[in-house]
Structure 1
Amino acid sequence: MAISYNRLWKQLIDHGLSKTDMMHRAKISTNVLARLSKGEPVSMDSMEKICTMLGCNIGDVMEFIPDTENGGIDA
């Protein structure tokens, strides 16, 4: 299963914020920002900080993309 943060980047554009602005305002680390930029998982605590800062829900900033090889069902 893959994680996409494309919705987060769209939110930042809509709010006129850079990734660095988000990092400072949400009080997340550079490591978290790097993981987001690479499409890697981050903690729910970090996602909560980002959602609180943007005033949105988690589905507004990320989505899970099912693995198409097995129909989205993990064995």
Structure 2
Amino acid sequence: MSKLSYKKLFKKMIDIDMKNTGLMEQANISRSTFYKIKNGENVTTDVLLRICNVLECDISEIVECVEE
């Protein structure tokens, strides 16, 4: 079974020196939604696209499908 992994997102944030709160503010993401991402839970594509807009990247650069 596959699931989504957000490891790429957190690596990208480290690479550009962006803090969690900075991403939440700029992408207009609630704390609870951010913690869903942090815990590997599902979020809407709208949230992922807002993150992509802030980071100026493609969705494949922040999320990947991995086997459990």
Q: TM-score of the superposition, structure 2-length normalised?
A: 0.91
| 1:19 aligned partner | 20
1:61 aligns with 2:66: no
Give CA-to-partner distance per residue, 1:8-37, whole Å, 9 cap, x none: 001101111111111011111111101001
Percent identity between the two aligned chains: 31
Bigger RCO of structures 1 and 2 (CA < 8 A, at least 6 apart) = 2
Structure 2 unpaired stretches of 5+: none
Structure 1 unpaired stretches of 5+: 68-75
Q: After the TM superposition, which segments of 4 or more aligned residues of structure 1 sit over 4 Å from their partners?
A: none
Report the RMSD for the aligned CA atoms in angstroms.
Answer: 1.0
Aligned length: 67
Q: Distance in 2 between matches of 1:48 and 1:26?
A: 9
Give CA-to-partner distance per residue, 1:24-59, whole Å, 9 cap, x none: 111111111010010011000000000000000000
